[in-house]
Structure 1
């Protein structure tokens, strides 16, 4: 119940039949923040439903009615929403994420924004926000990033924190017996921890490191230490040293094992080297996987497509280059009302390319895109994780069923410059249109002559 205001601020109605969504009171417009539609005059029907704006015959938005009762700036937003083929009920999606699925991170960001909007002026104090953001850019594993972020947030379950939360009565340090085991004591002040830092060749700087503040110590290790002459080869191992100090402490509590500072340093350095080696191997495999295929050409026709989207433009552009078995090319481009995100635009461009190739009676197709995320979503078949794209996925599977064979593959951006040029040229025109032909119109030839010739 306490989280209801937060959910109401971030949820947007996802239109199905439109029977359960009120035009003037429910948050259903795909704007920067979910909101109801705005009437264009003082007199309006308060009980109007979204279904009343859909033409029952064509099953499309009734543009004439939209323009007559809704503010003109809201009409393009409504027209960008696809109406599902199936008669499914209206549902909800989470507006702050591209997928439409709720995440703790996006909820936290929205909650912070809401608190800031209602907060009273206060005396400014040192903030850990910048340092917390820095943590997520560290070159280390995700679990270690999360641990360091938790240390900055004072949420590591050390004895003093557990006692404060009435989970334990003991506050003393399990390694050295100090009266109070805080996060800073665990990582920097406990004698085994201090020895670990010395063996890792992290120099002690009087007044800077170590200090009585977790924030100051981590800030020193992640930023100023490099400027003071500490080599990057040493500082790059800091995340693993922090992690294995924590592991050594837990081994003492749960296994009764005393891990020496020297062993802690050696294990940390070994794990850091192994992780960096794994990243190099993974990158090499990824580069091999996405090299353009030169020897084995896909069967049937190939169609590369792309979208051009900008948050300040009311329209987005799409382009495609269809190459048949004989090498003959057909070019196409279109514009449409801007969707929520670039990913929406990429998927809309794919749907338009699928419709266009079906109209040309090409039933064996390989579609090519430089949007790796789109390929992954469709390959993994996890469209249920993307509520904001539910209608588009319904359309995709319907069109997919009309091909004899149909596949989607990733190509590097450098291999997709023709479709990209068509998409950008279409968006630059600023009018809604659709064009598919073996010959380029004059405006396209002039805009992208070097890329398209």
Structure 2
């Protein structure tokens, strides 16, 4: 902790530099200020599930704050799971600080927190064997599926609307059907991801497409589908998902990288920027989609529809 290259440490080592914090420009950048006292950092801690209160956390000493995080958090905090999220939050606060210092860029506190918790979940999932959800008994053999559907949501706190998108395809890039929708902003980014999954399932069922494999780059969504009882705030959406899932002989939701999800991401982001409620479902992307360099090959559409 003492080796973090904040400006006060650099000045102490004889390096000429500006003492002020580059994010808030209101105080000298000490280690404690950068991680806990800067207004930008404080907002991140306030948005997290870690209790903050005057006189208990955060304090004016990084050692007192670390003592609180390591030893004094309530033992029943979210079943004990999120008592370790502070390590990821600290790391992403520091990464955002460096991005501001070296690139002049700064993310929103909510985005920093979501990124930290998402990376935490991905790391935890990487330690486990892959889990596949299925609505059938384990004695049934799961058929090989060449048709997949990738989903994504685009949510920004400063925008009144959000975008959701999904891309149903065969092979690597043969489009069967895709959807893009702009709708009023829901409470969180995870709500947009869940809404994208539900909307994709509805369209696939209504058109009789034999797709039972879904993919998302949102680790929180995958975790929620695997352990729905741990997400009571999403009970209404999970109930709707559970009802739709009964119509799928088999169902799986897998985690993929963001780089593999560019088509659904393109549809979701471009929809959000419309700022008016629009719904689009077709075999080719809408002309307002910002899909430069992203391919939506629909050459296999007629063959697939005729086989259904």
Q: TM-score range by the shorter chain?
A: 0.5 to 0.7
In structure 2, C-alpha distance between the alignment counterparts of 1:428 and 1:147, rounded to whole Å = 44
Q: How far does the alpha carbon of each residue in 1:297-355 deviate from its partner, in whole angstroms, 9 at most, with x for none?
A: 96152000100001111111011111136963022111222111111111111111111
- 8 Å CA contact 1:135–1:148 kept in 2: the answer is no
Match of 1:409 in 2: 254
8 Å contact 1:363–1:403 — kept in the other structure? no
User: What CA deviation, in whole Å up to 9, does each residue of 1:275-303 have, x standing for no partner?
Assistant: xxxxxxx979939979xxxxxx9615200
Contact 1:363–1:402 under 8 Å retained in 2: no
Contact 1:363 1:404 (C-alpha < 8 Å) held by counterparts: no
Q: Which residue of 2 aligns with 1:390?
A: 235
Q: Could you give the per-residue CA deviations for residues 76-118 of structure 1, whole angstroms, max 9, x where no partner exists?
A: xxxxxxxxxxxxxxxxxxxx989xxxx6x3xx43xx3xxx7xx
| SS of structure 1 residue aligned to 2:288 | helix
User: Does the Cα contact within 8 Å between 2:224 and 2:230 map onto a contact in 1?
Assistant: no
Give the structure 1 partner of residue 180 of structure 2.
333
Q: Secondary structure at the match of 1:429?
A: coil
Gaps of 5+ in 1: 1-95, 117-123, 137-143, 151-281, 291-296
* Separation in structure 1 between the aligned mates of residue 280 and residue 61 of structure 2, nearest angstrom: 48
Structure 1 residue 385: Cα displacement: 2.6
Residue 357 of structure 1, CA deviation: 1.1
1:128 to 59, 68, 73: 59
Give the secondary-structure state (helix, strand or coil) at the position aligned to 1:340: coil
The alpha carbon displacement at 1:133 in A equals 8.3
Match of 1:399 in 2: 244
**Correspondences of 1:110-189 after superposition (within 5 Å):** 112=53, 128-129=59-60, 131=62, 135=66, 146-147=70-71
TM-score by length of structure 2 reads 0.53
Cα distance in structure 1, aligned partners of 2:273 and 2:251: 31
Aligned with 1:425 (options 248, 262, 270): 270
* Aligned counterpart for 2:167 among listed residues 321, 326, 330: 321
**Cα distance in 1, alignment partners of residues 284 and 247 from structure 2:** 27
1:301 aligns with 2:141: no
TM-score normalised to the size of structure 1? 0.37
- Asked whether the 8 Å contact 1:305–1:419 carries over to 2, the reply is yes
Following TM superposition, by how much is the alpha carbon of 1:146 offset from its aligned partner in structure 2, in angstroms? 1.8
SS across alignment from 1:450: coil
Deviations 1:376-401 (A, max 9, x none): 1211x3x2332210100000000001
Question: Does the 8 Å CA contact 1:298/1:366 hold for their aligned counterparts?
Answer: no
Taking a change above 3 Å as real, the CA distance of residues 149 and 398 of structure 1, as seen in their structure-2 partners, is closer
Aligned counterparts of 1:340 and 1:437: Cα–Cα separation in 2? 28
| Counterparts of 2:70 and 2:191, CA distance in 1 | 30
* Residues 1:315 and 1:285: Cα distance change in structure 2 (over 3 Å): closer
Cα separation, 2, equivalents of 1:362 and 1:416 = 20
Kindly report which structure 2 residues correspond to 1:4-19, keeping only aligned pairs within 5 A, or say none.
none
Unaligned runs of 5+ in 2: 1-45, 75-121, 131-142, 297-308
The structure showing larger relative contact order (alpha-carbon pairs under 8 Å, at least 6 residues apart) is: 2
The reply on whether 1:345 has 2:185 as its aligned counterpart is no
RMSD: 3.6
Per-residue deviation, 1:128: 2.4
